[in-house]
A and B are shown apart, each in its own frame.
Chain A
């Protein structure tokens, strides 16, 4: 204490103004520091925050792959795989003399299989800031290009669609364009469902590019949905093989086949021939893209006859035991001729179907009148779009006119003067097979049977199926459709193709049927367009395809044979 006091009192060494000056300067420095801090922290904090954010905030996006399409057992029909697109910034390349790295550019051109000279000219000629040079390249190649570190060359993620089943389901599944948008088939119909939304979020990254903080979400990621179709790829594959063989063997223009599950209204198979490989877009013809099973309509010919009988039974015009006199095997209606292949005299309803008698069904149709017949056709789904929402589906054609001649009325009963698609025909047969229940069709796998509408009584439907069974018996028009061990009901059809101003020399061969008759499970329709040989009848060309596809389907799905008792072994 004494020391201190001494110092204070030592006036020689203590100069007051200096003391105040130093104290003042020190205070000033502190004050200015405090002021600066206050300015940065309180008054104008935004500036530095912004500077910091500019250096550390980044927007990252998460790529979402298009949904997977599978068949009813989960077999993939369409899968997306991420790939890369390479794009360049021509003005950046010019400005920074990117072409100086000659060897790297040479390597780039070689791995992408491009001509470097042409590429150079193209880039130098461009004034834009964006140009694709190659799309859909594999991640490995992309990595290689990334390692070349060329200025102005950038990579962008995109995805590529693969179709493992190739041409078998090509038209049904459809395809996407290069921008991953569905343009055909299921891909188009369910495009929105299959497409997800790419997520975008803001993150903070450190010096090394590690994400250290989640800031906010600009756009929420919406994962794409998958679709499980009702198609059974095994049946589809078998059907395609046999249809393709038949189309080729008979020199036909095209063919289509539809198989429906009678109990649920699900489409189990829908194939067309000729087909194309959706994985290789470099060589396809647009006509092969058509899903003919739904886009092409034709006159169904004799395959419509069971519906005439159904209409007759339903309206009480005929009874199951009715016998119709078709002698003399031909008749004139308003100057036009309706005839059978030969005069068979008095026939039962079963015989009419078995021998596909035009006289017989015309008789019934004339008793019914056109309106009741058309009503039945409508009830079975003709002239209407199905509930599948695939693009390009045809409604077929149902005549709507005020004045009907008897001949027009009669032609309607053997499937002329109207048009139907393969799918519509299959739908009608599925309805017959289900005992008269009209069910909406679906291409998506359903767990429960949909609501149905009764269009024919069970009694009449089963009587009709029995009659249709005689068609495939020996001597019937459809004997080629017989399957060992199973009861099959079906009907053949051969119709002349209409051309401008009448009918041409081309035919459509059809077979439609259901099996097994004791408890119908599947309805199958085979249509072969313009077979070129001498034999063009549905019973010769379409029926064998029906038999093979149906037999293998029944076998594969373990449907118990309903016409086979002698061979059964009883085990415990």
Chain B
């Protein structure tokens, strides 16, 4: 009885083979757990990214508003009229000088 030579690795393999399903489940649990961890991490990264983009949008909006102001100041009618008159020597034609072109 005591003289039986046990092959340890064989015993281990046999034991494992006996509980295939449980071991499979164990590995599944491990894989799933890790995937949950990575998923959460990815979600957080994406959320953070979205947040950054939103902040960027706000910054762009502010910049857009400032540019809008700058543009409207530059394109103010009296300003343009002044430049046309004084710098470019243009003038507004009177209606008498206008030529009417009719398209046929």
Q: Point out residues on A near B: beta carbons under 8 Å.
A: 1-2, 62-63, 65, 68, 75-76, 79-82, 139, 162, 164-165, 168, 203, 206, 210-214, 233-234, 237-238, 241, 483-486, 551-552, 554-555, 560-561, 564, 567-572
Contact B100 A211, beta carbon cutoff 8 Å: no
- Report the 5 A-B pairs with minimum CB-CB distance, sorted nearest first: A164-B72, A212-B44, A485-B95, A568-B100, A211-B51
Contact B102 A211, beta carbon cutoff 8 Å: no
Known pairs A211-B48, A241-B78; A568 contacts B101 (CB<8 A):
yes
Which of B62, B92, B95, B104 is A486 in contact with, Cβ under 8 Å? Answer: B95
Contact B100 A561, beta carbon cutoff 8 Å: yes
Contact B98 A212, beta carbon cutoff 8 Å: no
Contact A555 B95, beta carbon cutoff 8 Å: yes
Q: Is residue B96 contacting chain A, with contact meaning CB distance below 8 A?
A: yes
Q: Point out residues on B near A: beta carbons under 8 Å.
A: 1-2, 43-44, 47-48, 51, 58, 61-62, 65-66, 68-69, 72-73, 75-78, 92, 94-96, 98-104
Bound Cα distance from A1 to B2, whole angstroms? 7
Chain B residues closer than 8 Å to A552, beta-carbon distance = 92
Bound Cα distance from A302 to B96, whole angstroms? 31
Contact B96 A484, beta carbon cutoff 8 Å: yes
Contact A570 B104, beta carbon cutoff 8 Å: yes
Contact B95 A569, beta carbon cutoff 8 Å: no
**Could you list 13 examples of A-B contacts with CB < 8 Å?**
A76-B69, A79-B72, A81-B66, A213-B44, A213-B47, A214-B47, A484-B95, A485-B98, A552-B92, A560-B100, A564-B100, A567-B100, A569-B102
Contact B65 A569, beta carbon cutoff 8 Å: no
Q: Looking at the assembled complex, report how far the CB atom of A360 sits from the nearest CB atom of chain B, in whole angstroms.
A: 32
Q: Looking at the assembled complex, report how far the CB atom of B53 sits from the nearest CB atom of chain A, in whole angstroms.
A: 11
Contact A237 B62, beta carbon cutoff 8 Å: no
Closest residue of chain B to A236 (Cβ to Cβ) is B77
Bound Cα distance from A283 to B69, whole angstroms? 22
Which of B47, B62, B102 is A81 in contact with, Cβ under 8 Å? Answer: B62
Known pairs A2-B2, A484-B96, A555-B95; A76 contacts B68 (CB<8 A):
yes
Known pairs A2-B2, A234-B77; A162 contacts B100 (CB<8 A):
no
Contact A567 B98, beta carbon cutoff 8 Å: yes
Q: Looking at the assembled complex, report how far the CB atom of B25 sits from the nearest CB atom of chain A, in whole angstroms.
A: 22
Q: Looking at the assembled complex, report how far the CB atom of A66 sits from the nearest CB atom of chain B, in whole angstroms.
A: 11
Which of A139, A560, A571 is B104 in contact with, Cβ under 8 Å? Answer: A571
Bound Cα distance from A274 to B44, whole angstroms? 59
Additional 7 contacts, C-beta under 8 A, given A82-B62, A555-B95: A63-B58, A79-B65, A206-B44, A213-B47, A234-B77, A485-B98, A551-B95
Q: Looking at the assembled complex, report how far the CB atom of A570 sits from the nearest CB atom of chain B, in whole angstroms.
A: 5
Q: Looking at the assembled complex, report how far the CB atom of B41 sits from the nearest CB atom of chain A, in whole angstroms.
A: 9
Contact A164 B76, beta carbon cutoff 8 Å: yes
Bound Cα distance from A63 to B59, whole angstroms? 12
Bound Cα distance from A203 to B63, whole angstroms? 26
Bound Cα distance from A567 to B61, whole angstroms? 51
Chain B residues closer than 8 Å to A572, beta-carbon distance = 104
Chain A residues closer than 8 Å to B69, beta-carbon distance = 76, 79, 81, 162, 164
Closest residue of chain A to B96 (Cβ to Cβ) is A484
Chain A residues closer than 8 Å to B103, beta-carbon distance = 571
Chain A residues closer than 8 Å to B92, beta-carbon distance = 552, 555
Known pairs A81-B65, A210-B48, A571-B101; A485 contacts B96 (CB<8 A):
yes
Contact A555 B68, beta carbon cutoff 8 Å: no
Chain A residues closer than 8 Å to B47, beta-carbon distance = 211-214
Known pairs A1-B1, A81-B62, A567-B100; A233 contacts B77 (CB<8 A):
yes
Closest residue of chain B to A484 (Cβ to Cβ) is B95
Q: Looking at the assembled complex, report how far the CB atom of A261 sits from the nearest CB atom of chain B, in whole angstroms.
A: 19
Chain B residues closer than 8 Å to A569, beta-carbon distance = 99-102
